[in-house]
Amino acid sequence: MRIRRIPTGRQKRKRRVRTSFLFLASLAAAGTIFAAGAYFLFSLNLPKLKNIGDYRPALPTIMYDREGNEVSRFFTENRELVSIDQVPSQVVNAVLSIEDSNYYEHKGLDYLGIFRAFLKNLRAGKVVQGGSTITQQVAKSLLLSNERTYSRKFKEAILARRMSRRFTKDEVLGIYLNQSYFGNGSYGIEAAAKSYFQKHVWELTLPETALLAALPKAPSTYDPTRNPDKALARRNLVLERMSEEGYITDQERTEASSTPLGLNPRLPDPLDPVSYFAEEVRRHLYEKYGEEALYRGGMKVYTTMDSRLQRLAQDAVRQGLKDLDKRQGYRGALQSVSTGDFPLALETLRNENGLKDYMPGVTDILPWKKGDIVKALVLRVDKEGADLDFGGPTGYLPLSEMKWARPPNPKIDYGEYVVKRADEALRGGSIILVRDLGTTDAQKKRLYALEQDPLAEAALVCMDAPTGQVLAMIGGYDFKRSEFNRATQAWRQPGSAFKPIVYSAAMDNGFTPSSILVDSPIIYDDPSQELKWKPSNYSEKFYGPTTLRTGIVQSRNVITIKLVQKLGIQAVIQYARRFGFGGTLPEDLSISLGSMGITPIGLTSAYTVFANLGLRASPWFILKVEDRDGNVLEQGGAELVRSLSEDTAFIMQNLLRGVVQSGTGWRARSIGRPTGGKTGTTNDMIDAWYMGFTPKMVTGTWVGFDEEASLGQNETGSRAAAPIWVSFMEKALEGRPVLPFPPPPPGIEMVKVEPDSGLLAGPGADRFHYEAFKIGTGPREYARQPGRSGGQYGGRTYTPGYAPQTEVPGLLPRDF
């Protein structure tokens, strides 16, 4: 029989204690395991920061011009790193006063502050307050999350404790100053100082310092550009806290608090001239290094761009297109409003023209200056002009500044129709664009000129001939209007600008500048379209026997076509490839007149052959790319490729100089320097080109519509494109020494010839020039002189070595 023992009361108590102990121990163990698990879980994917060198924030890729000046940035976070040693104590004091006055006393976490925030969040039922120290704020910014959850707060606390153990207080504060967002796209206090005041952080005044310290709390709320009153109040709070902490005196606080915000923001250039060049560089960097490196990697990109030339190029393109647009006629008002709607229209103009604070007699300074283009309402118009209102200020548009405003008609030359009455072009109630002339009339009315935005587009490329470096590039009228870069992406027919390639092939295949072809009507069958092609010259005339010099100088189409017919189409295609023409080339006689496609930068590269005596330079934009640590990732350069012999290239250089001296490129003479070039015009004036060069610089210009359309009657390369080239080159070469072209190579001799026949010009000849020939290929007969018998001059024939004894008009050997 089994006897059951009954436990005593003491034993029962011991058992309960032991059970409770085991329960508490199990609970503690479970809590420890849970805490360890939570710590492990929340520690996953935290930023790895073992030392200050691990702090690698996103930095912008900075683009520099050839002189080392910053010109553009590519970024997701616009940041500039500064060491804590570069930050004045005044800045540190301002930040600590408003953000974490006990910063140097706690170990990363302010437990009392956290407890207060916990109670407030508990009452609210959600996370509404952080109670964060500077260390926690740094941790929060490194977590790349703004979510208000307890899990993020745990992660933030873990990272803050780690940072406090591994970094010094100054190191953490340095991260805070570089990592924090200050609004307006500025990350870090140095970027903010430049953005709001265009200063370095060490140049800030006390009020400026206090304003920047006020921003990280709520950059949008306290944005001084949008909410100046809130920003001012927050700034003054910072100054008050600095005074309470003993960093500044009460007098300093009072003086600083009474100081205006004094912003001097770094405003973007509305007509940023760098945009097209920068976009070309950006595309290259993106394709080669990827998105992360481009926008966050902090690369330094040193480019070939000359900032002065880039701005000059933009100015020349924009002015050239405006001039062209006026020749095309006036397309009409932006909109028309009825008399009853004038008040609403004027209020709209007041806002659009930045006249919010304009008050006649009080604050009547105009927000625009001479040359600026603004919108205006035509109040009334008569034959003499129009009265304008801009939404407050008024002005006058005289007839003399709108005579160009004829109705558009591409079949009528602009000179055939001039507006004779202002009311022919304008009506009362019209909203129009006008340009401030900066002058007044006898009645003290401010004068304006009628304007409109051009529809046509243009491109300009300027290259350093010996190296191929792209010095300037403009891809259109306005990058904001269209980011399409016509300089590098638009494939357009070069027209007559292709003819020098044809003539280069001819000079290598038995022809000379004095060779004669007959300029006469021709008809070719076009089997592909069952049509007959009857090419003609631009003038619609034929000129009979013509030297090749005259053929290219005057851009005669028929001569070039007959030349291609003699050379063979395949020979011309071969030479086009030598000059860098890619893609499919037409295998018919239309190639004579440039019926293929090429980009403006491609054609500019082709013309380096003539400036470099036969060497073609490929275009390139980047001198060097460095990573954020200064390691060189890439160095630019391009190998020169021989496309022509020196002798042939010199002959072509001589001929293209003749195009400027006495041919279609005559406008380029105005730069007053040795230069050569060639115009280009396609059928129906759809494309207009001027390609020109000096001994060291090659510049190409193109003008046309994106959607192919005629530029207008007589809008040839000479009229539409060459003025842009001249405007740019005159200023680009200003102050630079006048460089001569190189002398003839050993295989070339200069011969005095009569221009019409291409034969030798004898003593006493009235008309002549000096022609370049490969030795042994020049003319041997003298040109027939008026009043002389026989085809030779006294029976003499040419002998090599002939040289002029006196200086005579024309291109002399010393010019080469």
3-state secondary structure 694-733: CCCEEEEEEEECCCCCCCCCCCCHHHHHHHHHHHHHHHHC
pLDDT band for position 11 (50/70/90)?
low
Give yes or no for residue 256 having a pLDDT over 90.
Answer: yes
Q: How far apart are CA 456 and CA 685, in angstroms?
A: 12
Exposed/middle/buried for residue 68 (C-beta within 10 Å: 0-12, 13-18, 19+)? exposed
What value does the mean pLDDT take over residues 390-395? 93
Phi, psi of 363 (to 5 degrees): -120, 75
Q: How far apart are CA 578 and CA 641, in angstroms?
A: 9
pLDDT band for position 709 (50/70/90)?
very high
pLDDT band for position 115 (50/70/90)?
low
Residue 337 confidence (pLDDT): 94
Residue 133 confidence (pLDDT): 87
pLDDT (tens digit, 9 = 90+) per residue, 664-703?
999 999 999 999 999 999 999 999 999 999 999 999 999 9
Residue 114, token pair as written in the block: 């956290």
CB-CB contact of 811 with 760 (8 Å): no
pLDDT (tens digit, 9 = 90+) per residue, 177-211?
999 999 999 999 999 999 999 999 999 999 999 99
pTM over 0.85: yes
CB-CB contact of 690 with 721 (8 Å): yes
Residue 267 confidence (pLDDT): 78
Q: How far apart are CA 607 and CA 597, in angstroms?
A: 16
- Length of the chain as a residue count: 816
Residue type for 779, please? Answer: P
Q: How far apart are CA 271 and CA 292, in angstroms?
A: 28
Q: Which residue has the higher pLDDT, 28 or 174?
A: 174
Distances from the Cα of 115 to the Cα of 111, 118, 122, 130, 379, angstroms: 6, 5, 10, 10, 68
Instruction: Mean pLDDT check: name the lowest of 132-136, 452-456, 556-560, 658-662.
Output: 132-136
Q: How far apart are CA 521 and CA 540, in angstroms?
A: 10
Q: How far apart are CA 65 and CA 142, in angstroms?
A: 33
Q: How far apart are CA 738 and CA 456, in angstroms?
A: 34
What value does the mean pLDDT take over residues 308-327? 97
Residue type for 424, please? Answer: E
Give yes or no for residue 281 having a pLDDT over 80.
Answer: yes
Dump the DSSP string for 301-313: EEES--HHHHHHH
> What is the distance, to the nearest Å, from the Cα of residue 464 to the centroid of all Cα atoms in its chain?
18
Contacts of range 355-359, beta carbons closer than 8 Å, 24 or more positions apart: 355/390, 355/391, 355/392, 355/393, 358/391, 358/392, 358/393
Which 8-state DSSP code applies to residue 721? I
Which has the closest alpha carbon to 673: 739, 586, 770?
Answer: 739
Q: How far apart are CA 25 and CA 31, in angstroms?
A: 10
Instruction: Mean pLDDT check: name the lowest of 356-370, 510-524, 645-659.
Output: 356-370
Cβ atoms < 10 Å from Cβ of 717:
31
Which of 13-27, 702-716, 796-810 is modeled with the greatest confidence?
702-716
Q: 3-state class of 353 per DSSP?
A: coil
pLDDT band for position 47 (50/70/90)?
low
CB-CB contact of 603 with 576 (8 Å): no
Mean pLDDT of the chain: 88
Q: How far apart are CA 313 and CA 310, in angstroms?
A: 5
Give yes or no for residue 529 having a pLDDT over 80.
Answer: no
Which residues are known catalytic residues?
99, 496
Q: 3-state class of 6 per DSSP?
A: coil
| Burial state string for 434-449 with b = 16 or more CB within 10 A and e = fewer than 16 | bbbbeeeeeeebbbbb
What value does the mean pLDDT take over residues 231-247? 96
Q: Which residue has the higher pLDDT, 301 or 784?
A: 301
Q: Which residue has the higher pLDDT, 573 or 44?
A: 573
Which has the closest alpha carbon to 607: 726, 683, 689?
Answer: 689
Exposed/middle/buried for residue 606 (C-beta within 10 Å: 0-12, 13-18, 19+)? buried
Task: Supply the Cα-derived Rg of the chain in whole angstroms.
Answer: 38
Residue type for 485, please? Answer: N
* Beta bridge pairs of residue 616: 641
Q: How far apart are CA 466 and CA 169, in angstroms?
A: 55
